[in-house]
Amino acid sequence: MIRSRLLAAALWLAAVLPAVALDTQSDAHHQDVKLSDRQVEAGRFAVAPVSGGTIGRHITVPGSIVPNGDRIARVAVRLLGTVAELRKRVGDPVQAGEVIAVIESREVADAKSDYLGARLLFELQQKLFNRSKTLFEGKVVSENEYLRAEVTFQDARVKYEAARQKLFALSLTAQQIEALPQQPGETLRLQELRAPIAGRVAERRVEVGSLVGREGQESELFVIIDQSVVWADLTILSSDLPKVSVGQHITIASETSSETSPATVLSISPILDKDTRAARVVVSIDNAAGHWRPGAFVTAQIPFEQSEAPIVIPASALQTLEGQSSVFVRTPEGFTARAVSLGRQDSGRVEITTGLVVGEHIATANTFVLKADLGKSAIEHQH
């Protein structure tokens, strides 16, 4: 298996980096691979500077992606009616305030009509009261006439407010109520439903023609989820809980791909599961790129006992040459393999105690190709 991989790597190098001149020195710890800048770029070796970093131990725990509980909206109606239009399907994007459905309802038509009548009467009684007040102050009308006008006006105001509040109870907004006097009479039976947040439709629970609000019960039409930030639901044993704290930064990794993302611990359940003796821990993940979907299984790497190290490199930069851990240092002519001594290690990173200097540049990806090239060179020199 290893021999076939090395052979495949050598063939790939030969295809990508044609006519590479090799110069393998006698010192086993300083072996050179001569490449032009164009060949280094074509090889995708991810050259990066050597620097310090943080090294620590970590625990790995299972979990799954779930919707952000603070970014879920359920669009429902509290009126008796029929679904006249559905403007969104499952998976469709929506903007906050966008019309996503239209309900046809006699109940809403009656409520709007009552409101318009109450509003008209209120405005009329307000004018009559103001006139009566002016006449009373000018001693043109009696106090009794003025008081009767005031009682009639206050009664109209109460009925107007009651009709307005009923529309609020039917999920109309203040802007929609204010626009009712300009709405054509034949459309009073129609009620638009708008998305309260931006996101995507996760569920659509009705079809066109469906009855909603039967027996005065609330009917849910849509579930909208904003997935720009998602949560991961982790299960952590009680023995590992001391290693976790709210606000701690961890790493989430996919179980089906190489995707990873930083995450922040949001909450730690104060209650342990009675069967597993584990606690639920919720972490927040920035999902602006849309890589994470609710329901996906993940693993979380939670660091602890961290400390600074003068030189830390990715584990992908390491190769074993003649039994010695080595890295490929960038040179004007290409790369040179250099032996290094290893210190502490954590997930994907290694401390280097000797062999490298801060500021040097090393290959951190596809280093097995450079190793294969050195192996091919050694075989050629033997012949």
Q: What is the CATH number of the domain that holds 202?
A: 2.40.50.100
Whether the predicted pLDDT of 250 surpasses 80: yes
The least confident of 21-35, 262-276, 310-324, 360-374 is 21-35
Query: How many CB atoms are closer than 10 A to CB 366?
Result: 18
> Residues 10-35: what's their mean pLDDT?
52
pLDDT in tens, 69-110: 999 999 988 778 889 999 999 999 999 989 999 999 888 899
Collect all residues with Cβ–Cβ distance below 8 Å to 162 and sequence separation of at least 6: 118
Whether residues 288 and 168 share a domain: the answer is no
Tell me which residue of 227, 220, 218, 223 sits closest to 203, measured CA to CA. Answer: 223
User: In the prediction, which pLDDT does 280 show?
Assistant: 94
Whether residues 219 and 85 share a domain: the answer is yes
Supply the DSSP string of 321-375, one letter for each residue.
ETTEEEEEEEETTEEEEEE-EEEEEETTEEEEEES--TT-EEE-SSHHHHHHHHH
Whether residues 81 and 181 share a domain: the answer is yes
Q: Which domain holds residue 218?
A: 77-225
- What tokens does 136 get? 């009373």
Whether residues 137 and 216 share a domain: the answer is yes
> Residues 225-245: what's their mean pLDDT?
93
Of 191, 225, 259, the position where a domain reaches its end is 225
pLDDT in tens, 339-356: 999 998 876 789 999 999
Whether residues 259 and 331 share a domain: the answer is no
> Residues 284-313: what's their mean pLDDT?
90
Counting residues of the chain whose pLDDT is more than 90, the rounded percentage is: 51
User: In the prediction, which pLDDT does 348 show?
Assistant: 78
**Predicted structure pTM score:** 0.60
Whether the predicted pLDDT of 6 surpasses 50: no
CATH of the domain at 26: 2.40.420.20
Counting residues of the chain whose pLDDT is more than 70, the rounded percentage is: 89
pLDDT in tens, 174-196: 888 888 888 888 888 998 889 99
- Residue 35, Cβ density class (10 Å: 0-12 exposed, 13-18 middle, ≥19 buried): buried
- Residue 329, Cβ density class (10 Å: 0-12 exposed, 13-18 middle, ≥19 buried): buried
User: In the prediction, which pLDDT does 208 show?
Assistant: 92
Whether residues 84 and 218 share a domain: the answer is yes
Whether residues 216 and 82 share a domain: the answer is yes
Total number of domains in the chain: 3
